[in-house]
Chains A and B, each alone.
Chain A
Amino acid sequence: MTVLTMRAIGKSFPGVRALDGVSLTVAEGEVVALLGENGAGKSTLMNILAGVFKHYEGEIEIGGRVAHIHSPKDARRHGIAMIHQELNLVPELSIADNIFLGRERAILDRKAMEARTAELLRGLGLDLSPRRLIKQCKIAERQLIEVAKALSQNVRVLVMDEPTSALADAEVRRLYTVIRDLTGHGVAVIYISHRLEELEEIADRVVVLRDGAYIGERSEVDRDELIQMMAGRPLGELFPRADGGGSGEELLKVEGLSVPGEPGSGRTPLREISLSVRAGEIVGVAGLMGAGRSELLESIFGLHRPTAGSMSLGGRPYRPRRPKGAIRRGVALVAEDRKAQSLVLGNTIAFNASLPSLGRFLRFGTVDARREHRAVERQVNELRVKTPGTRFTVGNLSGGNQQKVVLAKWLLTSPSLILMDEPTRGIDVGAKAEIHALMSSLAAGGKGVLVASSELPELLAMCDRILVLCEGRITAEFSREQRPTQEAILEAAMARQKVTTL
């Protein structure tokens, strides 16, 4: 039975027609996937359903009756819950407080709240105390907490906007179990993801949007056909890296690096890490949630003080005390969380993209705005960022295009070593292929790339070597010639040490 009908939905932003006459129906217990390139309008459509926007064109029906949804409260009343693409949790509050935010009793019943929270977290396989503060949780954990929050209320329609973008395989499985359980109880799920292989597994039907318009739908997932529908053109190979490469000079050498953890923030300590990256090489870093992948990249970027070990870059000692020093030596970090760590959301694309490389555009001590804009524009076009101009506010771009702006920003610094933390998170297949091609061409151009990713197929296809981290130490290293399997990597990623020295 049809539970939700959206009819001829349209939405305009200043200068952008984000949606135009899109219709969508969803039946009880059905999982409908929304697919489309970055900026196609998927989040906008779902935001309308969740009452984020007050004004839009078209009509929404729920359970056969017209529903006027113009605020999040209206949406909640109609049993619609949404997990937003950009996470919306209050960092200073505990998990339990966040889950019940806005629905608390006048006099808080902490015991009940925490008990219910613990139950929800267990259902999602999260082993966290309900009292833990959000700011101490990792981004993947936060994503699952958002799921728990949505599940804590009575839902008829659950919208998940890229719920798995920060999750590794095991966590994704767990989420699927939860989704199947929900649909078994008649809940309709609308699922947005850029990982096509996920849709095959979880979706009953795939609806494709392009440029704000409805393109078509399929109940069989045929990869190539879907990509053709999304992009309006056939697409090249997804992982375009030709074998080999990476026999240049040694660029980065890390020896015996140890970095203490931080008890309050849940930061994983690093223990005696040794690795090297050659010019022209792509080195991958694999590991589970909390293995220390981000910490490793951040330490190389000068964010944390090591207690032992040494690094050298281009043959010279390298001891960055802060990011500024790292950037000066030609190191760039595409950070994990673009909203919190990479972008000044209220400012323009040009402002963000040129921030670390402003020195390049100085003339007589002032910023030469013409040169700056030309350079940013070139980079932004090269990465095919979908935007009306370089003066567009970054916060108004779609998620994937924001990620491209972050990449543009670092490419403008002409780095010799690029550290990438989940570079293709939230990026559509087309753009993903572009970013992979970009990584290949960076390597071909003699640069070193060190990339952390929770998508093993990506690492396996792109990297010359893969390092596996577990609990802050390197437990295995595979070269491309060894042809490692996903299983071998996962095994190394779970090779916990019973007795920890240090």
Chain B
Amino acid sequence: MTATTEPPPPAKAPGESRLRRTFSALGAAQAYIGLVLILAVGIATKGEVFLNETNLTNAVGAFASRGILAVGVTLVILTGGIDLSVGSLLGIASMTAAMMLSKYSLEPWQIVPICMVVGGLFGFLNGAGTAWLRIQSFVMTLAMLSVVRGLDRQVSDNVSVGTQIAGPDGKLTPQAEAFQLFGTPGHNLFDRIYYPVLAFVVVCVVFHLILTKTRFGRHVYAVGGNPTAARLSGVNVTAITIAVFTLSGMLAGFAGPIDAAYSASADPQAGQSYELDAIAAAVIGGASLAGGKGTIAGTFVGALILTLLDNVLGLNAVSDNWQLVIKGLIVVVAVVLQRPDLFKFFRGGSRS
């Protein structure tokens, strides 16, 4: 810096670092390193068996419902909250879907909105408890996790409800046939497109755009970054809080039918501990539980990492137990890698 001060350095044109911005908008760079590593391990150990369209599509399909949950959880985390109830909400939505199909023979396009409303209602209650009753979201959604799981088991009488419903002629009913397209492996939309993958990608794109391009998105970041400043700037903090929980519930409702179709049945235990995968995906993708920091792109990459991890370990016949251990370690490593000061430290730079 020189000694002349007149005028002070002007704010530079916003276009100056487009490349860096695009990159940072795509999430934490470290997450990509993880993705590349896992791909490399997959290719090195299983080659063709790993790297072919069918395997990859099935892998993503198996994880898609959890990926969709992760998007909702990311919204909540961005406002500085947490949503532990998404697994239970997915469970009750998948049960709702299976019952609508078996009892009332509803069409899939009727089932999905109903499930989203069910999920959204419970999500709204989460938001109302957090924003109006000022219950910490961890506590509120923990309670919801338990309540909804109990309801799910009660309405299903503790037995799973199948979605492969046969008609009088012994063949699948047209509704059940159509329902399979939601996620049953081997059943594709327009021959090529596997619905769960499509749904996951679309949800990610839509919410990425909402968060980066709309006023609502800005307000979500503001509430998480500094709720007082947000309120004094005219942000309706209560409404934003309720909205993110409701959206998270609706996304869980959306994921329910996919999960039911994938398993060909709605189990009363469906979705159990999915919330942990969802939170892990968000955190691996760079979201901070303190709020105000994180991206959908990051969560997307985080979900892909978990997906491929499951897949690679499965292909290599690593036992479920070890899979859990490895998954846990990956979360820790990912979070440590995201600490920028760590990198500065290695470069011998400054620490602030």
Contact of B236 with A340 in the complex, beta carbons under 8 Å: no
In the complex, A343 has a CB within 8 A of chain B: yes
In the complex, A24 has a CB within 8 A of chain B: no
Contact of A389 with B225 in the complex, beta carbons under 8 Å: no
- Scan A352-383; emit 1 where CB is below 8 A from any B CB, else 0: 10111011001001110110011001001100
Contact of A322 with B214 in the complex, beta carbons under 8 Å: no
- Scan A380-395; emit 1 where CB is below 8 A from any B CB, else 0: 1100111111110000
Contact of A366 with B230 in the complex, beta carbons under 8 Å: no
Number of A-B residue pairs with CB-CB distance less than 8 Å in the complex they form: 139
Which listed residue, A324, A349, A377, touches B234 by the CB 8 Å rule?
A324
Which chain B residues numbered 158 to 206 have a C-beta less than 8 Å away from chain A?
none
Contact of A324 with B8 in the complex, beta carbons under 8 Å: no
Contact of A373 with B230 in the complex, beta carbons under 8 Å: no
Contact of A355 with B226 in the complex, beta carbons under 8 Å: no
With contacts A346-B293, A380-B11 taken as known, whether A56 is within 8 angstroms of B221 at the C-beta atoms is: no
Stretch touching chain A among B33-41, B253-261, B299-307, B343-351: B343-351
In the complex, B218 has a CB within 8 A of chain A: yes
Give the CA-CA distance A454 to B230 in the complex, in Å: 26
Which listed residue, B10, B228, B233, B235, touches A381 by the CB 8 Å rule?
B10
With contacts A362-B215, A390-B11 taken as known, whether A345 is within 8 angstroms of B225 at the C-beta atoms is: yes
In the complex, A457 has a CB within 8 A of chain B: no
> What residues of chain B lie closer than 8 Å to A168, measured between beta carbons?
none
Q: Considering the complex, give the chain B residue whose CB is closest to the CB of A16.
A: B1
Which chain B residues numbered 1 to 48 have a C-beta less than 8 Å away from chain A?
1-14, 16-17, 21
> What residues of chain A lie closer than 8 Å to B12, measured between beta carbons?
388-389
Give the CA-CA distance A59 to B217 in the complex, in Å: 47
Stretch touching chain B among A76-84, A141-149, A210-218, A252-260: A210-218
Which listed residue, B215, B222, B352, touches A53 by the CB 8 Å rule?
B352
Q: Considering the complex, give the chain A residue whose CB is closest to the CB of B12.
A: A389
> What residues of chain B lie closer than 8 Å to A12, measured between beta carbons?
350
Contact of A20 with B233 in the complex, beta carbons under 8 Å: no
Give the CA-CA distance A384 to B11 in the complex, in Å: 9
Contact of A366 with B213 in the complex, beta carbons under 8 Å: yes
In the complex, B292 has a CB within 8 A of chain A: yes
> What residues of chain B lie closer than 8 Å to A345, measured between beta carbons?
225-226
Contact of B5 with A232 in the complex, beta carbons under 8 Å: yes
- Scan B326-352; emit 1 where CB is below 8 A from any A CB, else 0: 000000000000000000000011111
Which chain B residues numbered 209 to 260 have a C-beta less than 8 Å away from chain A?
209, 213-215, 218, 221-222, 225-226, 228-236
Contact of A343 with B231 in the complex, beta carbons under 8 Å: no
In the complex, A191 has a CB within 8 A of chain B: no
CB distance from B141 to the nearest CB of A (A): 23
With contacts A358-B215, A389-B11 taken as known, whether A343 is within 8 angstroms of B229 at the C-beta atoms is: yes
In the complex, A231 has a CB within 8 A of chain B: yes
> What residues of chain B lie closer than 8 Å to A278, measured between beta carbons?
none
CB distance from A431 to the nearest CB of B (A): 10
CB distance from A162 to the nearest CB of B (A): 19
In the complex, A344 has a CB within 8 A of chain B: yes
> What residues of chain A lie closer than 8 Å to B352, measured between beta carbons?
13, 52-53
User: B residues touching A (Cβ–Cβ < 8 Å)?
Assistant: 1-14, 16-17, 21, 209, 213-215, 218, 221-222, 225-226, 228-236, 292-293, 348-352
User: A residues touching B (Cβ–Cβ < 8 Å)?
Assistant: 11-13, 16-17, 20, 37, 52-56, 210-213, 231-233, 301, 303, 322-324, 326-328, 333, 335, 340-347, 349-352, 354-356, 358-359, 362, 365-367, 369-370, 373-374, 377, 380-381, 384-391, 409
Contacts beyond the supplied A327-B234, A367-B215: 13 A-B pairs with Cβ under 8 Å: A16-B1, A55-B351, A211-B1, A212-B1, A323-B233, A340-B226, A344-B292, A347-B222, A355-B229, A359-B215, A366-B214, A389-B11, A389-B13
